[in-house]
A and B are shown apart, each in its own frame.
Chain A
Amino acid sequence: MTPKAFAASILLDNRITVCVGCGGVGKTTVAASLALEAARRGRRALVLTIDPARRLADALGVEALGNQPQQLSRATLEALGVPAEGELSALMLDMKRTFDDLVARFAESEESRRSILENPIYQHASEALAGSVEYSAMEKVYEVWKNGDYDLIVVDTPPAQHALDFLDAPQRLIEFLESRIVQILIHPAMAAGRFGFRIFQQGTRRVLGLIERVSGISFLEDISEFLLAFEGMSAGFRQRALQVRSLLTGPQSRFVLVTGPSDESVLQANQFRRRLEGQGIELTGVLANRVCLWPDGPVPDEIEASPEDLQTLARALAEANGSDLPSEAAARAAVDAARGYAARVRRDARATRELREMMLSQGSFWGEIPEQSLDVHDLNGLLRIARAIFGEEEFSRGDRV
């Protein structure tokens, strides 16, 4: 199998592809390109972003994406070579709405739904406080997957530390719901106010009381009330969290790490990779984005420019451009530019070598997307990225991967 065909088989031929990586490496555009390529191969593809910076909307040229998938128009898709059976949709997560929907789904009664939505702890948890986006992101991935409207869901994740929260989210939710403190609080026999806290050691109880006094909020009462309201929901919630976890670690999901070519981003990518492995998640592949590549073959170690060769180039330049061009200076400048670019190519190759060799040696995918001299912020830019990963082929109707 050629590398390009390998890319298609592992990046597109599954149900969920999660793009992870640090900020600023072009993860969102890569995720959107993968979805676009799947659509071009006649699949129904969705790209889901949970990044609050609205980059996907930029990349897709869509001003505002709602909390529901938005399908690109048929005309737009046709221009991109997407056949009739192919689809491309994008979804930008609205964290608060997703969480509220979740509460509405699992709440036992209208009263319990209201009691949760109005609880201060819930409001803190679900308002746009940093870090709380992950629970609902996972929920949305699951919901969309379960509806079965898409052959491939590509998930874009927020930068570095938060992406890991995103992966931890289902597990954290399960641990939280199963934790002693929650069990005590939601257990009906002990649920009357602070009675439950008698279970705690004397010292801990004193500290909790002091926190309450210090904080000025009835921390424990609010939590207790919140968890009580959640009581009816917790079974549904826990089951859901388990389903989400198994969805992400199951065979239908693949993880691809997107990295930049600099020492700094490769270093961060490696930290990221180790954390994923610590979570028991294996990377399917790495896509190195914005790599400077030499246009024809391997980059020369050094660009020698003898006076004769410079003369020849200067003459050719003069012939093609007329006498206005200072052709000798131009020949020297062209060589300088080539040396400058070659230095970038070598630097990127050096920075990525170790990670590339590691991925290849374990049979994982390694792909390189060339640095473009233009910003990628439109659909044609996404198409260029897709072609760099998957090759130049055009797909006829019904031609599936």
Chain B
Amino acid sequence: MDRPPPPAPAPSSAPTPLLDRRLVIVTGKGGTGKTTIAAALALAASRAGKRVLAAETGPDEHLARLLAPGSPPVGYLGRELLPGLRVMRIDPFEALSEYLGLQIGAPRLVRRMLSNRAFHQLMAASPGWRELITLGKLWHLEQMTDGQGRPSWDLIVVDAPATGHGVAFLNVPSVVASAVRSGPLRRHSQAVEDLLKDPARTLLLPVTLPEELPTRETTELVKRLRDEAGIAIDRVVVNCIVPQPFPTGLAELDAALARLSPQLRCGELPSAGALTHCASFLRGRHDLSLTHIDLVGELTGLPLVHLPFLAAGVTGPDTLEILSRGLVAAEAYAR
């Protein structure tokens, strides 16, 4: 496989290195591989000796499956799947129960109330709180310290909801902070918002594909979250880049094949028509990749991290490591 081209140079004001952030929120259009990238990043950080927490925010567990295939569900309490790497799933109801228990100081009472059917229905029908409580839990995890006063986690990697919902997800604290005038909820929303908007601690890492719709969505995401909401975004991960399919000097192989009669068969080989189909498909995907890589760099004005398309798929830590190395290599370059 060809080596992916090096990323564009970092902007002159050197950003805080990727792994030195406290909270990296990975998002992207559905299907871009954001969960895979979140897993690869968590793996990279743990291999670099960091204490890492990887958190899922969806209803299903995917991170654990990628990092430790065959592992049982990790749940809200989470589990250490690799040395220095813990994975958890933030369930909003569990987080709410924990939050209210801490605030009110009567966890048993809170649990009883949360198991009240009417209250459950009321909460199920109320929008916004899931996002707020999920982000609140992340803030809480970021604040946690061990016995010596060091942060419990060097890095928290979040597999955030897909773009469209991700924007709303991250805007919730500021909506609440602006709607609620006083009291602990306001203070907590404010603290969450402060964390999200602190470029030294928090980074949003968009993952995109070198294709048309993801390119547009990523551009929109950068505009709305960096330019309007003020959340730091200092690079874009372009995933699944199809390598140059033909050897040097044969860039026009598909056109050369197309000049043959499609019915032509050379012995046991596929027909010339089939050979042309295969070559022009690979060529088309590759050209499209290049166009969109240029476009996403141009439209966002951000450095890009190039990651290759893995034909065999991502099956576990071994294949994840290829992506981890790509993320870290780009980091070394940026520094």
Interface residues of A (CB under 8 A from B): 22-25, 51-53, 55, 58, 120, 123-125, 127-132, 158-162, 172-173, 175-176, 179-182, 203-204, 206-208, 210-211, 213-217, 223, 260, 262-265, 268, 271, 292, 294-296, 300, 303-306, 308-310, 312-313, 316-317, 320-321, 325-326, 329-330, 333-335, 337-338, 340-344, 347, 371, 373-375, 377
Which of A51, A217, A320, A342 interacts with B256 by CB under 8 Å? A320
Question: A342 vs B269: C-alpha distance in the bound complex, in angstroms?
Answer: 13
Which of B127, B214, B264 interacts with A125 by CB under 8 Å? B127
A302 to chain B minimum Cβ distance, whole angstroms, is 10
Beta-carbon contact of B128 and A130 below 8 Å = yes
Beta-carbon contact of B278 and A342 below 8 Å = yes
Beta-carbon contact of A23 and B250 below 8 Å = no
Please report which residues of chain B, range 166-193, place their CB below 8 angstroms from some CB of chain A when the two chains form the complex: 167-169, 171-172, 175, 179-186
With an 8 A cutoff between CB atoms, is B280 at the interface? yes
A178 to chain B minimum Cβ distance, whole angstroms, is 9
Which of A130, A207, A337 interacts with B275 by CB under 8 Å? A337
Beta-carbon contact of B31 and A265 below 8 Å = yes
Closest 3 CB pairs of A and B: A23-B30, A24-B31, A216-B183
Q: Which residues of B contact A181 (CB under 8 A)?
A: 118-119, 121-122
Beta-carbon contact of A214 and B279 below 8 Å = no
Beta-carbon contact of B211 and A375 below 8 Å = yes
Beta-carbon contact of B266 and A313 below 8 Å = yes
Q: List 28 A-B contacts (CB under 8 A).
A: A24-B32, A24-B214, A120-B179, A124-B126, A129-B168, A130-B131, A130-B172, A131-B131, A131-B168, A161-B161, A181-B121, A204-B116, A207-B100, A207-B109, A214-B100, A214-B183, A215-B183, A268-B60, A295-B274, A295-B277, A309-B267, A309-B268, A321-B259, A333-B279, A341-B281, A344-B311, A347-B311, A374-B288
Which of A53, A131, A312 interacts with B217 by CB under 8 Å? A53
Question: A204 vs B113: C-alpha distance in the bound complex, in angstroms?
Answer: 6
A219 to chain B minimum Cβ distance, whole angstroms, is 9
Please report which residues of chain B, range 145-174, place their CB below 8 angstroms from some CB of chain A when the two chains form the complex: 161-165, 167-169, 171-172
Question: A105 vs B168: C-alpha distance in the bound complex, in angstroms?
Answer: 28
Q: Which residues of B contact A173 (CB under 8 A)?
A: 125
Which of A179, A214, A296, A340 interacts with B271 by CB under 8 Å? A296
Partner-binding segment picked from B195-203, B241-249, B298-306, B321-329: B241-249
Beta-carbon contact of B58 and A129 below 8 Å = no
Beta-carbon contact of B127 and A207 below 8 Å = no
Question: A23 vs B275: C-alpha distance in the bound complex, in angstroms?
Answer: 32
Most buried by B among A204, A309, A337, A374: A337
B54 to chain A minimum Cβ distance, whole angstroms, is 17
Beta-carbon contact of A316 and B266 below 8 Å = yes
Most buried by A among B180, B214, B266, B268: B266
Beta-carbon contact of B266 and A309 below 8 Å = yes
Beta-carbon contact of B256 and A325 below 8 Å = yes
Beta-carbon contact of A334 and B257 below 8 Å = yes
Beta-carbon contact of B118 and A203 below 8 Å = no
Q: Which residues of A contact B168 (CB under 8 A)?
A: 52, 128-131
Q: Which residue of A lies closest to B264 (CB)?
A: A316
With an 8 A cutoff between CB atoms, is B104 at the interface? yes
Q: Which residue of B lies closest to A184 (CB)?
A: B118
With an 8 A cutoff between CB atoms, is B282 at the interface? yes
Question: A124 vs B171: C-alpha distance in the bound complex, in angstroms?
Answer: 13
Q: Which residues of A contact B274 (CB under 8 A)?
A: 294-296, 338
Q: Given A326-B250, A337-B245, A337-B246, A131–B266 Cβ distance below 8 Å?
A: no
Which of A51, A161, A333, A347 interacts with B250 by CB under 8 Å? A333
With an 8 A cutoff between CB atoms, is B95 at the interface? no
Question: A91 vs B186: C-alpha distance in the bound complex, in angstroms?
Answer: 38
Beta-carbon contact of A216 and B184 below 8 Å = yes
Question: A23 vs B119: C-alpha distance in the bound complex, in angstroms?
Answer: 31
Which of B109, B117, B179, B247 interacts with A124 by CB under 8 Å? B179
B190 to chain A minimum Cβ distance, whole angstroms, is 12
B313 to chain A minimum Cβ distance, whole angstroms, is 6
Beta-carbon contact of A124 and B125 below 8 Å = no
Q: Which residues of B contact A342 (CB under 8 A)?
A: 278
With an 8 A cutoff between CB atoms, is B144 at the interface? no
With an 8 A cutoff between CB atoms, is B83 at the interface? no
Most buried by A among B110, B118, B217: B118
Which of B175, B214, B270, B275 interacts with A127 by CB under 8 Å? B175
Question: A183 vs B166: C-alpha distance in the bound complex, in angstroms?
Answer: 34
Question: A271 vs B179: C-alpha distance in the bound complex, in angstroms?
Answer: 37
Q: Given A159-B30, A342-B278, A344-B311, A23–B162 Cβ distance below 8 Å?
A: yes
Beta-carbon contact of A203 and B121 below 8 Å = no
Q: Which residues of B contact A217 (CB under 8 A)?
A: 180, 183, 185
Beta-carbon contact of B122 and A330 below 8 Å = no
Q: Which residue of A lies closest to B268 (CB)?
A: A304
Which of B31, B121, B245, B280 interacts with A340 by CB under 8 Å? B245
Q: Given A129-B127, A263-B313, A340–B278 Cβ distance below 8 Å?
A: yes
Beta-carbon contact of B29 and A23 below 8 Å = yes
Question: A256 vs B179: C-alpha distance in the bound complex, in angstroms?
Answer: 40
Beta-carbon contact of B284 and A374 below 8 Å = yes
Question: A260 vs B194: C-alpha distance in the bound complex, in angstroms?
Answer: 39
Q: Which residue of A lies closest to B60 (CB)?
A: A271
Question: A318 vs B279: C-alpha distance in the bound complex, in angstroms?
Answer: 17
Question: A216 vs B249: C-alpha distance in the bound complex, in angstroms?
Answer: 70
Question: A120 vs B179: C-alpha distance in the bound complex, in angstroms?
Answer: 8
Q: Which residue of B lies closest to A268 (CB)?
A: B60
Please report which residues of chain B, range 66-123, place their CB below 8 angstroms from some CB of chain A when the two chains form the complex: 100, 103-104, 106, 109-110, 112-113, 116-119, 121-122
Question: A214 vs B280: C-alpha distance in the bound complex, in angstroms?
Answer: 63
Beta-carbon contact of A58 and B311 below 8 Å = no
Q: Given A158-B165, A207-B110, A340-B278, A129–B183 Cβ distance below 8 Å?
A: no
B106 to chain A minimum Cβ distance, whole angstroms, is 7
Q: Which residue of B lies closest to A308 (CB)?
A: B267
Q: Which residue of A lies closest to B66 (CB)?
A: A264
A251 to chain B minimum Cβ distance, whole angstroms, is 29
With an 8 A cutoff between CB atoms, is B48 at the interface? no
A345 to chain B minimum Cβ distance, whole angstroms, is 9
Question: A24 vs B271: C-alpha distance in the bound complex, in angstroms?
Answer: 33
Q: Given A130-B161, A338-B278, A22–B250 Cβ distance below 8 Å?
A: no
Which of B112, B253, B313 interacts with A330 by CB under 8 Å? B253
